[in-house]
A and B are shown apart, each in its own frame.
Chain A
Amino acid sequence: MRRYALWAATWGLIALVLLMPPAVVVAEALKNGLAPALASFSDPDGQAAIWLTLEVTVVSVLLNTVFGVLAAWVLTKYRFSGRSALLVLVELPLSISPVVSGLVWLLLFGAQGWWGPALERAGVHIAFAVPGIMLATVFVTLPYVVRTLVPLMEQQGRDAEEAAMLAGAGFWNILWRVTLPGARVALFSGILLTTARAMGEFGAVSVVSGHIPGLTETMPLHIESLYNGYQTVAAFTMAALLAGMAMMAVLLRSAPEYLARWKEKQA
């Protein structure tokens, strides 16, 4: 009896906290039927927001994957002074408010910032432009790949790599054939977390973007603009799409486990 109560409580809580919000979003998007919801996608500003979000996501994921792998490699395979400080620093973007992370970029690259005027004269626009949005997103999503890789690589130790080295493999062969495949589940998981976070980032992007519809609005910013403009259906449709994309990313995370289990069954 007690087991069922626990089971019901768990599922009740999950339904209330995790399942209800997306359900409400979808219901709100479809409250006038499917046609008006789909029609809202033909808005060019909306399309621009979707494209910009995809661009920003792809760039942040690529950069942070490369950086994350290298950083995790250095942090786990070598012992140097300042290593533990670096491990803490990597987590900084997780702990400080995204608004603050956005403000930093404005301070550096804004019209009144340190380097802003000089760059402006050279014709480089960072604040209130796409590069600023990318910088802010890359900064905010930086820890995920590193933080998922480091514990796993730490636990794997150097043995497999030394074995590969003694079998004659060079640096790239070791990285491609031994280190990354050995850590692939963690790497995949880190990449998908980065993706989900990059798509949904609001605070940091909001500060540096300047909210120029069609130019510097990502999906989350566009949703806010629509909502503030009382375009409820369009706002919730966009929100449903964003939520769906993020959920896909998170669901994909467990794909390798299912795949492995399936392979096991086949063998």
Chain B
Amino acid sequence: MSVQVENLVRHAPGSTRRLLDDVSLTVPTGAFVALVGPSGAGKTTLLRAIAGLDTFEHGTLLLDGQGMGSMRDRARKIGFVFQNYALFPHMTVARNIAFGLDVLPRSERPTRSASAARVQDLLELMQIPDAGPSYPARLSGGQRQRVALARALATGPKLLLLDEPFGALDPIVRRSIRTWLKALHERLGLTTILVTHDQDEAVEIADRIVVMQGGRIVQDATPEVLNQNPQTAFVMEFLGEASSFSGTVRDGLMVPDEAGVLPFPVAASVSPGPVTAMLRPYEIQVRPGVEGGPAVVFSADGARNGYRHYKAHLADRLIPFWVPDYAGNPVEGQASGLLDISRARLFREGQRCG
């Protein structure tokens, strides 16, 4: 099911502050989209608006090209998983899952045995076949997560909305449920929108990432594009560790302000003036220093995930940089040198300029 959001505006209740500020987003059928951003960016607000839980002042919202219709129609199309699962504590897991079937009008309600069979199918799909008779209070976080998902899927929705679904899980369960959810999405042919504040999670699971900030969409792209071409300094920083260097562009060269950082050529499209260069620790390279010239001291900082970590001691700050971890790597045995940041992206007033 495709979702089309056009120019959505929602104000905070009783004020003119915009929780959603002219947000437009198109999610094609079968896509797995992650909404990411810091707290208060409007991710959950947008998700709730799509679900129809909150109203909005301006804009249109189309599901498969059509208006939203009544809550009951929407319930059949949308499955929603809440941040804290919102299971019904007084019902068994089986009754929780069957809830959406139990409240159907009598003419559409499946028979008792059909409903029980559906619940069992879902429990098996969720890999918790024996959980049916237990109460939610007896389940672990990961199991509750799965029950909430099964409940959301019971009426066979084509659109799945997940609000920080992994927030309360421990890292190992988190990782396994992530992969499993992705597989489930493919298998059931769902369209999925996931809200998370964890960019690693988003990169791993989604095929499109929508970065939000202050009620606006800052960038909407695949994880690869987002990493290669962040549109703003915020996106660059949000997606992972990044170092920034201020400097000035003149005569086709970016000249960093700090000593020990090498100037590098920039595209002709970059107009002269002050810029900020940003890059990730693994994009920083080192070059040998010249005799008598400025040099930056390096110190080792351990090894992680196949990278040797170092810190470069600039005049008044430390810059982390990583090089692939193998014997005889260029930095090993080199106590000082110069930093080559030519792989940096350039930003001016927070916006990408080269």
Question: Do chains A and B interact in one complex?
Answer: yes
A binding-site residues for B, Cβ under 8 Å: 79, 159-160, 162-170, 173, 177-178, 181-182, 184, 267
- What chain A residues lie within 8 Å of B106 (beta carbons)? none
Contact of A170 among B72, B84, B99, B151 (CB under 8 A): B72
Q: Is there contact, CB below 8 Å, between B99 and A164?
A: yes
Q: Let me know if A177 and B84 touch, CB within 8 A.
A: no
| Contact among A167, A184, A267 for B90, CB-based, below 8 A | A184
CA distance A79 to B154 in the complex (A): 32
Is the Cβ of B13 less than 8 Å from the Cβ of A178? no
Contact A163:B90 (CB < 8 A) given known A168-B72, A168-B100, A168-B155: no
Are A162 and B53 in touch, CB under 8 angstroms?
yes
Contact A166 B103 (CB under 8 A): no
Q: How far is the CA of A143 from the CA of B13 in the complex (A)?
A: 30
Q: Shortest Cβ distance from A236 into chain B, in angstroms?
A: 43
Judge whether A173 and B80 touch: CB under 8 Å: no
Residues in A neighbouring B264, C-beta threshold 8 A: none
The reply to whether the CB of B104 lies closer than 8 angstroms to some CB of chain A is: yes
Chain A residues within 8 Å of B133, by CB: 267
Query: Majority SS of interface residues in chain A?
Result: helix
**Is A166 a contact partner of B99 (Cβ separation < 8 A)?**
no
A128 → B minimal CB distance (Å): 46
A162 in contact with B90 given A167-B75, A167-B103 (CB within 8 Å): no
Q: Which of B13, B75, B88, B91 contacts A166 (CB under 8 A)? A: B75
Q: Would you give 5 A-B contacts (Cβ < 8 Å), ordered by A?
A: A163-B86, A168-B104, A170-B72, A181-B91, A182-B88
Q: Does B103 lie within 8 Å of A159, measured CB to CB?
A: no
Q: Which residues of A contact B197 (CB under 8 A)?
A: none
Name the residue on A nearest B84 (C-beta). A159
- Give Cα A178–Cα B103 distance, bound, in whole angstroms: 11
Say whether B226 faces chain A, with CB atoms less than 8 Å apart: no
Contact status A167-B100, CB under 8 Å: yes
Please name all residues of chain A whose beta carbon is closer than 8 Å to the beta carbon of B71 when the two chains form the complex: 165-166, 168
Query: Which 8 pairs between the two chains have the least Cβ-Cβ distance?
Result: A168-B75, A159-B86, A167-B100, A163-B86, A169-B103, A166-B80, A181-B90, A173-B103
User: Which residues of B does A touch, CB under 8 Å?
Assistant: 13, 51-53, 71-72, 74-76, 78-80, 82, 84, 86-91, 99-100, 102-104, 133, 151-152, 154-155
Give chain A nearest CB distance to B172 CB in angstroms.
26
B100 (CB) vs chain A CBs: closest residue: A167
Report whether A166 and B78 are in contact in the complex, using a CB–CB cutoff of 8 Å.
Answer: yes
CA A236 to CA B28, docked complex, whole Å:
79
Nearest CB in chain A to that of B83: its residue:
A159
Once the chains are docked, how many angstroms separate the CA of A166 from the CA of B53? Answer: 8
Contact of A165 among B53, B76, B89, B155 (CB under 8 A): B53
With the chains together, A166 CA to B148 CA distance in Å?
A: 12
Given contacts A165-B71, A166-B51, A168-B155, is CB(A160)–CB(B104) below 8 Å? no
Contacts of B75 in A (CB 8 A): 165-169
Cα distance, A164 to B91, chains bound together (Å): 12
Q: Specify which of A160, A167, A181 lies most central, judged by the most chain B CB atoms within 10 Å of its CB.
A: A167
CB-CB under 8 A from B104, the residues of chain A are 168
9 new A-B contacts, CB < 8 A, other than A162-B86, A166-B52, A177-B99, are: A159-B84, A162-B53, A164-B99, A166-B80, A167-B75, A170-B72, A170-B103, A177-B102, A182-B89
Specify the chain B residue showing the minimal Cβ separation from A162: B53
Q: Which residue of B lies closest to A167 (CB)?
A: B100
What is the chain A residue whose CB lies nearest that of B151?
A167
